[in-house]
Amino acid sequence: RYSLHLLFEAPISQCVLIACSENDISSEMFFLSILPLRHDDLKEMLDSNKDSLKLEAMKRIVAMIARGKNASDLFPAVVKNVACKNIEVKKLVYVYLVRYAEEQQDLALLSISTFQRGLKDPNQLIRASALRVLSSIRVTIIVPIMMLAIKEAASDMSPYVRKTAAHAIPKLYSLDPEQKDQLIEVIEKLLADKTTLVAGSVVMAFEEVCPERIDLIHKNYRKLCNLLIDVEEWGQVVIINMLTRYARTQFLNPNINEKKAEAMAMAKRKPYVMDPDHRLLLRNTKPLLQSRNAAVVMAVAQLYFHLAPKAEVGVIAKALVRLLRSHSEVQYVVLQNVATMTIKRRGMFEPYLKSFYIRSTDPTQIKVLKLEVLTNLANETNISTILREFQTYIKSMDKDFVAATIQAIGRCATNIGEVRDTCLNGLVQLLSNRDELVVAESVVVIKKLLQMQPEKHSDIIKHMAKLTDNIQVPMARASILWLIGEYCEHVPKIAPDVLRKMAKSFTNEEDIVKLQIINLAAKLYLTNSKQTKLLTQYVLNLAKYDQNYDIRDRARFIRQLIVPTEKSGALSKYAKKLFLALKPAPVLESPFKDRDHFQLGSLSHLLNAKAGGYQELPDWPEAAPDPSVRNVEVKESVRCDTQCGSDNLICQTFLSPFDSDLFSTESDSASGSESGSGSGEESGSGSQMLSFSTIAPSSTVKSYELLHRITGEGLSVEYCFSRQPFSSDANMVAVQMQFTNNSTSETKSLHMEDVKLQSGMRVKEFAEIESLPAGESATAVMGIDFCDSTQAANFQLKFFVSIQPPVGELMQPVFLTENEFKKEQGQLMGMNEITEKLTLDIKCRNEHAIVQRVTTTANLSRVPCGSDKECRFAGRTVTSGSLVLVTVVTKDEGATQLTVNCEKMVIGTMLVKDILLALTQ
């Protein structure tokens, strides 16, 4: 329908407009898809009345920006469409404005009212985009508007908008630091947010604006620890790094007992007990070592290195070694940190020695770092293996790598005396190498090794003296001359001849060599002036007129010092002591020795220099700060008397699910002692009850009805297994009960009686609520010893009621390493192992779903595993402490094998059935 001359001669806008006038959508899209668009064409499309053209134009513009092309001249045409009603067009306009708002501030300011309307848009994406554009305009005049927008967004119903508000906080702070106090209020509000989407962003804002306000973290510490596993990956990195520094200010050093200097002081102190919150952080970050994101694994590794007890740090080694299979950039960062760790924690990487062997395909910087790690790991046991590796590396064509290998051999010889002679002989053999750089590096290292035992190696010194005719590398020549001068008494015949040769070539040598020739001449003059007096004067005369002022000054100084004249000062008497003094042998140390004062994983550690924005890792406190600052406020639901004694319900309050501390009171201890005597009367007899206390219920617990309001004449009771330790007796299962008075009158004298034990024994008048007002509720926790049995505990609560536990609630989680799990599993084979095969539904074939269903069914903890096809769980029965191990192995197309290893076969059998049902529902 369109002629070719129109297609190639007329502007594209005309072709499109003709298509539009004909309402031919297919032709319109055809032109847009095959022809390149000029900026003028895009402007005409943006001015069109058709949303389809505007959308296509914005797609083209955003694509141009993504390719790095400049589209700033389109700003006026784009900004007019900010009020477009089409959601897709509006989103792309906001993307464009975020990119160019800072460059075109005047035009962006004209649209402020539009952005403010966007903040009220029903669509959360539009609200977030409007705030993002508004915070990108770097004009101080709109700071009040930005502040108001951020405050409103921080209270938005959408967590995505609240996340955007957190991102806007650092932008506003950099624009106007005077707003810090108001921004801190917003940060404090967002830190209390319970959604995982916001957590990482607000912690980043906290780090940018007020990292010194550690008090803001106190009440949110436990929440952040518990949310950490579900936060997005980059948020996890930010939170872990922040919590590392927080922990260094709030907890005691778990390795304090290792310090010998404090042994006397520690004798007077109480033995170290790890703070539960410190343990909470270590426990909740440990699973993240299995993360697929290298930055997350590195963040957890540095946290463990800086915070964990020495015996527990080893768990990070396997995760870091796994990262060495990644890209070379990741390897470089990981090896930098491993090299630092191996200096103080060498033992944890020794089992993975072969993982640091060098491949021919490794880049030079990776090879050098692996050499560093191998050198740090070298000890009397593995040195022979490492030296064999080094012999292979010396044959490499990479000269920088060969030089680094020779230096590594020198360090091994320095650190391990048993192989010093072997290394020295090997380096001497390298002196006959055809490659001059290899010989030069060997000379430098041999020089350092000879300083340790020069009297034993005069033959080597003689051999090196002969190399002065062939070696041309300045550093190597200087090293040989220094050695001959320093130990000239061991080679009295060769040293003068070497000076004679050097005097001939003095004017053609490099400056570093000339300085060592002068030193050699001075030392020989002082020890053998008969043969070298004239040579020394000749050398000093040549140096007197050298172009380098350092050499001229050195010559004048030495002449006055060793050739006394009337003008010579008092120093000439001490010339021998100055020049021939014994010099300490050099210490060959790792360049990573003192780098751990920087937080591992940080840019400052990588550069070994403090980078902009780096925050110092605090020192451990001498005394532990008050741990109560991390307690979340307890909200009362019902006011009640908390009198002392076992006849009263101790507490009727709910605790925050993030507050894991148990509150112990005098009444707790009183009731505990009284009930303890009661349990002694029925020792081992079956279900036993203790007095009520309060425990925060788990967020995943299931509630059961104990008494219906109709049956209970207005009183209803629900119970759940809170999965928290029972404060009075660790061998009891905590059962949380909620009493609700649904009647119009007050319920009085509510107490438990006739508790039927398996042996028929009873406990009378166990607990009592004197009164419960109409419409009110009371909550308490009862401890029951089920003796690892699913038989019901029966009792009267005005009416007959019964509590029968699921088998999964008779357990408590236990934390095992992968090796401990395998070891224990190996001891629970045969009749203690139950295996079932099943096929998982498509919705349950991912790791997260399996873990959720298993842990909902049974109170078990996750065990680390190197395979993503296998999930492991561990726990112990509450009463007897019998070990329970669960393994779920998935294969292709949902085929799965469930294995339960348990010391108690009955419990194992019941548990298999429950987990099987949970996985196949």
135 has a pLDDT exceeding 80: yes
pLDDT, average across residues 812-824: 88
Per-residue pLDDT band for 172 (boundaries 50, 70, 90) equals very high
- Residue 831 sits in a domain of what CATH number? 3.30.310.10
pLDDT, average across residues 771-798: 78
Q: Do residues 187 and 214 share a domain? A: yes
Residue 841 covered by a domain: yes
Q: Report the range out of 52-66, 115-129, 297-311, 730-744 with the highest average pLDDT.
A: 297-311
Residues in the chain: 921
396 has a pLDDT exceeding 90: no
Residue 553 covered by a domain: no
User: Based on the number of CB atoms within 10 Å of its own CB, is 765 exposed (0-12), middle (13-18) or buried (19 or more)?
Assistant: exposed
**Is-contact 443 476, C-beta < 8 A?**
yes
Q: Do residues 732 and 875 share a domain? A: no
- The one-character DSSP state at 742 is -
Q: Do residues 50 and 167 share a domain? A: yes
Long-range interactions of 42-51: CB distance < 8 A, separation 24+: 42/74, 42/77, 43/74, 43/77, 44/13, 44/16, 44/17, 45/13, 45/16, 46/74, 46/77, 46/78, 46/80, 46/81, 47/77, 47/80, 48/20, 50/20, 51/84, 51/86, 51/89
- What is the model's pLDDT at position 61? 87
Taking only the tens place, the pLDDT of each residue in 226-276 is 999 889 999 999 999 999 999 999 999 888 765 544 444 545 556 678 888
**DSSP codes of every residue in 568-606:** --GGGGGHHHHHS---PPPP---TTTTGGGSPTTSHHHH
- What is the model's pLDDT at position 273? 81
- Which of 223, 252, 279 terminates a domain? The answer is 223
Q: What three-state secondary structure class fits 735? A: strand
Distance separating alpha carbons of residues 232 and 198, to the nearest angstrom: 10
Taking only the tens place, the pLDDT of each residue in 620-654 is 888 888 888 888 754 433 333 333 333 332 232 22
- What is the model's pLDDT at position 660? 35
**Is-contact 281 217, C-beta < 8 A?**
no
96 has a pLDDT exceeding 60: yes
Residue 583 covered by a domain: no
- Residue 150 sits in a domain of what CATH number? 1.25.10.10
**Is-contact 765 726, C-beta < 8 A?**
no
Of all helices (H) and strands (E), which one includes residue 651? none
- What is the model's pLDDT at position 654? 29
- What is the model's pLDDT at position 81? 79
pLDDT, average across residues 121-126: 86
Residue 784 covered by a domain: yes
Main-chain phi, psi angles of 381, to 5 degrees:
-80, -45
- What is the model's pLDDT at position 204? 94
- Of 434, 430, 428, 440, nearest to 468 by C-alpha is 440
Taking only the tens place, the pLDDT of each residue in 726-741 is 777 777 888 888 888 8
- What is the model's pLDDT at position 84? 79
Q: Do residues 57 and 173 share a domain? A: yes
Taking only the tens place, the pLDDT of each residue in 451-465 is 777 666 677 777 777
Q: Do residues 722 and 786 share a domain? A: yes
pLDDT, average across residues 907-912: 90
Q: Do residues 821 and 797 share a domain? A: no
Q: Do residues 800 and 826 share a domain? A: no
Strand order in the sheet with 799-803: 753-756, 793-797, 799-803
Q: Do residues 198 and 345 share a domain? A: no
Mean pLDDT taken over the chain: 79
pLDDT, average across residues 12-24: 47
- What is the model's pLDDT at position 220? 92
User: Quick one: what percent of the chain has pLDDT higher than 70?
Assistant: 82
- What is the model's pLDDT at position 763? 35
Residue 432 covered by a domain: yes
User: Based on the number of CB atoms within 10 Å of its own CB, is 508 exposed (0-12), middle (13-18) or buried (19 or more)?
Assistant: exposed
- Of 249, 234, 243, 177, nearest to 210 by C-alpha is 177
- Which of 427, 453, 479 terminates a domain? The answer is 453
Taking only the tens place, the pLDDT of each residue in 22-52 is 444 455 444 444 456 677 778 778 877 788 8
Distance separating alpha carbons of residues 75 and 59, to the nearest angstrom: 15
Distances (CA, A) of 912 to 606, 733, 808: 49, 21, 10
Of all helices (H) and strands (E), which one includes residue 730? none
The count of structural domains within the chain is 4
Q: Do residues 70 and 218 share a domain? A: yes
Helices and strands in the chain, H and E counts: 39, 16
423 has a pLDDT exceeding 70: yes
User: Quick one: what percent of the chain has pLDDT higher than 90?
Assistant: 22
Query: Which comes out higher in pLDDT, residue 599 or 101?
Result: 599
- Of 54, 51, 72, 71, nearest to 63 by C-alpha is 71
| Domain span at 218 | 12-223
150 has a pLDDT exceeding 60: yes
Per-residue pLDDT band for 768 (boundaries 50, 70, 90) equals low
Residue 801 covered by a domain: yes
**Is-contact 883 874, C-beta < 8 A?**
yes
Taking only the tens place, the pLDDT of each residue in 832-870 is 889 999 988 888 888 888 988 999 999 999 988 877 789
Which one-letter amino acid corresponds to residue 570? A
Per-residue pLDDT band for 569 (boundaries 50, 70, 90) equals low
- Which of 398, 425, 453 terminates a domain? The answer is 453
17 has a pLDDT exceeding 60: no
792 has a pLDDT exceeding 90: no
- What is the model's pLDDT at position 237? 94
757 has a pLDDT exceeding 80: no
- What is the model's pLDDT at position 698? 44
pLDDT, average across residues 794-805: 76
**DSSP codes of every residue in 619-631:** PPPSSPPPGGGGP
Which one-letter amino acid corresponds to residue 642? T
- Of 480, 555, 473, nearest to 522 by C-alpha is 555
Q: Do residues 172 and 37 share a domain? A: yes
Residue 4 covered by a domain: no
Q: Do residues 725 and 752 share a domain? A: yes
- Residue 766 sits in a domain of what CATH number? 2.60.40.1150
Per-residue pLDDT band for 82 (boundaries 50, 70, 90) equals confident
- What is the model's pLDDT at position 286? 92
Distances (CA, A) of 665 to 642, 654, 662, 672, 689: 10, 16, 10, 11, 19
Least confident of 127-141, 278-292, 537-551, 674-688: 674-688
Q: Do residues 790 and 870 share a domain? A: no
Strand order in the sheet with 777-784: 689-693, 777-784, 733-741, 715-721, 703-707
Residue 588 covered by a domain: no
**Is-contact 719 855, C-beta < 8 A?**
no
* Two structure tokens written together for 219: 């009440």
Label each residue of 117-176 as H, E or C.
HHCCCCCHHHHHHHHHHHCCCCCHHHHHHHHHHHHHHHCCCCHHHHHHHHHHHHHHHHHC
- What is the model's pLDDT at position 904? 86
**DSSP codes of every residue in 549-578:** HHHHHHHHHHHHHHS--TT--GGGGGHHHH
